[in-house]
Amino acid sequence: RGAGTRRLQAGLRAAGRFNAQVMDFIRPHVREGVSTGELDRLVHEYTLDHGHTPACLGYKGYPKTICTSVNEVVCHGIPRDDEILRSGDIVNVDITTIVDGWYGDLSETFLIGDVSDEARHLTQVTFDSLFAGIRACEPHGRVFDIGRAIFEYARARGPDVVQMYQGHGIGRDFHQEPGIPHFPHPSTRKIPLEPGMCFTIEPMLNLGGWKTAPAEADGWTVRTEDGSLSAQFEHTILMTEDGPEILTLTTNGPREGHKF
């Protein structure tokens, strides 16, 4: 193992750790009555105060620091001051910052106040499907194994799996090869999972069908086509000779096996 590999892994680990720390910072603020715009401001300030760089802000023209996707929003919801979280909502908070040139990327779905049984079920299955995908990662295995595991896990429990958006390689750039579909896409059958690879797994599951509407007039917000609820969780993963290492594990957030 050369010095270059060690440097790369140290950079990625530090970035993953800081992004997890940001999630731990924002978690207590994600509650009834707060606006998604306020959550964005808090993360923006926290990131700058620690000397790091928001990755989404200005990325392909994206206007904010985080993505906040409420209820039927699948991903890329833009935080707004007039969007107040209410009891019964579910909201995904997706955080990406750059630490010394390296990217880390994670998201969690939060239950606000009293949510319906079906919202809780969707969130649980989505969280567990992420870990089904992580546990399917084997050194010298295939990207295909990840999508197959997530898809089978989800479909056996009801929710459907979004196909239009996928996980991605990550490192010195935000989105790199390979794409990591959350369903068994034939094109990934031969793509190897080699030690040293770093990528995200970020399944989006819908209570209704898998289809998403095209991005809205704001250029970003993606909703389910049928208006059903959608949830998502994301981790950044480093493949090692010993198996997958989760770089974005939080201190206070849900761990594998958590019951919502």
- For 122, residues 6+ apart whose C-beta sits below 8 A from its C-beta are 90, 159, 205, 206, 207, 229, 230, 231
Q: How many residues does the chain have?
A: 260
- For 206, residues 6+ apart whose C-beta sits below 8 A from its C-beta are 74, 122, 159, 160, 161, 162, 224, 226, 228, 229, 230
252 binds, among ligand MF3, Co ion, none (CB under 5 to 8 A by kind): none
Nearer to ligand MF3, 115 or 123 (CB): 123
Question: Could you count the other beta carbons within 10 Å of the beta carbon of residue 23?
Answer: 23
* Stretch (H or E) spanning 151: helix 143-155
Instruction: Provide, rounded to whole angstroms, the least separation between the CB of residue 76 and ligand MF3.
Output: 4
> Backbone phi, then psi, for 242, in 5-degree steps?
-95, 0
116 binds, among ligand MF3, Co ion, none (CB under 5 to 8 A by kind): none
Site string for Co ion, 171-210 (x = CB under 5 A): -----------------------------x----------
Tell me the Cα Rg of the chain. 17
DSSP string, 174-229: SSEEEEE-SS--GGGTT-EE-TT-EEEE--EEESS-S-BPPP-TTS--EEBTT---
Asked whether 92 and 108 are in contact (CB, 8 A), the reply is yes
How far, in whole angstroms, is CA 62 from its chain's centroid?
A: 17
Instruction: Provide, rounded to whole angstroms, the least separation between the CB of residue 176 and ligand MF3.
Output: 11
92 binds, among Co ion, ligand MF3, none (CB under 5 to 8 A by kind): none
206 binds, among ligand MF3, Co ion, none (CB under 5 to 8 A by kind): none
Instruction: Provide, rounded to whole angstroms, the least separation between the CB of residue 174 and Co ion.
Output: 8
Nearer to Co ion, 107 or 188 (CB): 107
Task: Give, as ranges, the residues between 212 and 251 that touch Co ion (CB under 5 A).
Answer: 234
Nearer to ligand MF3, 69 or 115 (CB): 69
Instruction: Provide, rounded to whole angstroms, the least separation between the CB of residue 143 and ligand MF3.
Output: 16
Instruction: Provide, rounded to whole angstroms, the least separation between the CB of residue 87 and ligand MF3.
Output: 26
- Residue from 72, 83, 89, 94 touching Co ion (CB under 5 A): that is 94
76 binds, among Co ion, ligand MF3, none (CB under 5 to 8 A by kind): ligand MF3
Instruction: Provide, rounded to whole angstroms, the least separation between the CB of residue 107 and Co ion.
Output: 5
